[in-house]
Chain A
Amino acid sequence: MNISHDYRVSEAYDELLEPGGQPRCAARALFHYLNTLQPGELEARRQSVDAAIMTMGITFTVYSEAGNIDRAWPFDIIPRVMAKTEWMRIEEGLKQRLTALNLFINDLYNEQRIVKDGVFPLEVIAGSRNFRQQCVGITPRFGVWAHISGTDLVRDKDGTVYVLEDNLRVPSGVSYMLENRQLTKRLFPEFFQGCDILPVDDYPVQLYDALAALSPRDGERPVVAVLTPGIFNSAYFEHSYLAQQMGAFLVEGSDLMVDADDRVYMKTVSGPRRVDVIYRRIDDDFLDPEAFRPDSALGVPGLMRAWRNGKVGIANAPGSGVADDKVVYTYLPKIIRYYLDQDPIIPNVPSYLCMDEKERAYVLANLDKLVVKPANESGGYGMIIGPRASPEERAAFAELIRANPRNYMAQPTLSISTAPTLVGDCLAPRHLDLRPFILQSSRLYATTGGLTRVALKAGSLVVNSSQGGGSKDTWIVDTEDACYPA
């Protein structure tokens, strides 16, 4: 295979190749390796890895009208490569961001200094359904609310990496990051030797430590449980995977109970057993029917009072979703400056708030150039990509914006970067993003790289697995040795 000859980069930034067709420094070794492969060899390896995915049962669930479909995880075998030097800077930026976000959340639920100082308008959270009255006045351990963040990064045409959004509620995907690396090791074992690809597999231990630090009972080995909505949830595979990797219990709401002294117990075959920390993978709304939605069958009655009284640690803390909001997102550069007195290391994508009259007018006048997103939906639902929508679709969306301006924000359509992706037996450019996972508890940690999500359809910008996206292994490569002259 001759990549320089066969692979055509598009107008977007390509992660592997420079515009002239030469490999980028960090990708040089991969590039040369791919060039040594015979035609058909990649396709053969892809088939063997697909078979491995089937037998390993790596799946995710898609909701559809026909019921829940368990699909094999779509994995592209060509890794995405990034230089360690670039990554280290991004890592600093991610940690900076989560630190500021947690200071912000804690401030919002307590003194609201940032509001009083006129940096952040109260009306934003007054309109947010993720601001939980039940959390006012609480300071969790370490002052940290969002212990786990999945932050989506994209790279624009000129090579700048932007933060697209911060997922602070129940971000998923980290198990696929770990499994992707296992698959790639099976695929290219000869390549891993002698190449400085940084490992990713310490995440489960880091996650366990971050959770264990939240235990209310110091000095004892804490009982940690992963709380899942159950087998029909799209991320069930991940819940089970993480519990397994951490040696934690995988529990459903009905497995837990809270007693009159606000302690949380699991129902076991030997009787009730105390639970110290809950890594919950269900939304606030369903967490506790006493405190939130009374019709929730997934939750645990009394869980909120147990948490408020310090009898159990919950990650992410209830109410932390208030900062997982695309309107709050637009304030993040200000939030970072306010709490940390630093400039943001990773920039935000320029954004327009529809709640602001002037900006709304701009958005409505430029719908054909912008991406408009609802402020607090996830999974790529309910958004419009202006340049790709029909005039009728744009007109209908304009009505939605006018009816509920608080609920929308807009960004220019970025020309997000591409990387070679196996299509049939050829490599073709496909758009992708990167979701690293950041932990904050007694200390800060970020995954090495993260989950690269790739839009498998030609030209598509939507990378969500629920919308036909796939994923790649992400290699952070130490280029100090790798950058010898080719």
Chain B
Amino acid sequence: MLSRVAENLYWMARYLERAENTARLINTTTDVLLDLPKGASFGWDILLKLVGLDELFEEHYREANESNILRFLIQDERNPSAIVSSIRRARENSRTFREILPKEFWERVNGLYLYVQGFASSAAQNRAQRYEVLNHIIERNQSLAGLLISCMSHDLVYEFIRLGRNIERADMTTRIADINAAVLLPRQGGALEPLQERLWMSVLKALSAYQMYRRHVDVHVRGHAVLNYLLLDPHFPRTVRHCLSEIEECLAMLPNHKEVMKVTRRTWRRLTGLRWEGLAPAVLHEYLDQVQTDLGAIHVAVSNQYFYFYMRQQQTTSTVRVVNE
């Protein structure tokens, strides 16, 4: 497979996963807002920090209020991670390999793009429609993933898609798990515990994990248990650990994976070494940051190995060892 195509596939998967998870993040946030008691406030600007877009936002907006932030996250094309931008880029990328993906895939990506074009602004401006539109985006994205799982060969093309999807998904899971850092609870007024329980419940729901958590962990929703679940559960497909094992499986199918595998193992060791019980929110935030940095290192290793290596090759060798795929 061409290195350029591999890179485009990888990024297409990341963009789609990013759009879906941004939609999930916004839906949770909206949900959390409805549960907050009087006196509690929600730090919208922290939401921007979670997804790493606070600086870019400040370049374009004065006030970090709900309507500005939602416009920025959903429909503002100056934000490359906005839902509209992600889907547009996923569509552009998939145009470059219509010859290798099932024909329906392009039609559906294109359909999703047209849908988002039509509904992004109402989702950004109108709370009532927001939930419906964002859910629809999530649904369509899952139909895309389903199409690939069931209607294409699970070959190298597929592995690069799976690789991109899981790196992005793991990263977004850590960010969504971090959302409680954005909530500033009132110091007085008792009843903290049920409130926190509701917040963590929102996080689980955002990742469609609530039902599975209840079944496999506990009926009660407690912070450290949720974190343990979202980071370390081996069976739920949106947990960081599950994503890491997916990544490892993909890499095992790819040629020349020794270096990338090493980086992935290191991330794995560090993740399982962390203790999540009884952490202060600030420390928790740092821990999650660390996981994000480690996932970034896997991305860099993948890029060097599969997307850019040929540039080095061209400079240094004149005769070529032939390979066959």
**A binding-site residues for B, Cβ under 8 Å:** 54-57, 231, 236, 240-241, 243-245, 248-252, 254-255, 257, 259-261, 263, 265-274
Contact = CB atoms under 8 A, between A and B. Distances in A.
Chain B interface bracket (under 10, 10 to 19, 20 to 34, 35 or more): 35 or more
23 contacts: A57-B106, A240-B99, A244-B100, A249-B2, A250-B5, A250-B96, A250-B97, A250-B99, A254-B4, A255-B3, A257-B310, A257-B314, A265-B322, A267-B314, A268-B1, A269-B1, A269-B3, A269-B156, A269-B254, A269-B255, A272-B313, A273-B323, A273-B324
B316 interface: no
Contacts of B156: 269
Nearest to A57: B110
Interface in B180-213: none
Contacts of B254: 269
Given A270-B325, A272-B322, A251 B2 contact: yes
Contacts of B270: none
Contacts of A231: 92, 95-96
A365 B2 CA distance: 58
Contact of A240 (B98, B318, B324, B325): B98
Contacts of A250: 5, 96-97, 99
A289 to B, nearest CB: 14
A54 B95 contact: no
A48 to B, nearest CB: 15
Contact of B323 (A56, A261, A263, A272): A272
B258 to A, nearest CB: 14
Of A257, A269, A271, chain B has the most CB atoms within 10 Å of the CB of A269
A232 B3 CA distance: 20
Contacts of A240: 95-99
Contacts of A273: 322-325
User: Which A-B residue pairs are the 6 nearest by beta carbons?
Assistant: A244-B99, A267-B310, A270-B255, A260-B318, A243-B99, A271-B323
Given A240-B96, A244-B99, A259-B318, A269 B107 contact: no
B14 to A, nearest CB: 17
B274 interface: no
Nearest to B325: A270
Interface string B73-113: 00000000000000000001001111110000011001100
B98 A241 contact: yes
A268 B110 contact: no
Nearest to B108: A55
B219 interface: no
Contacts of A259: 317-320
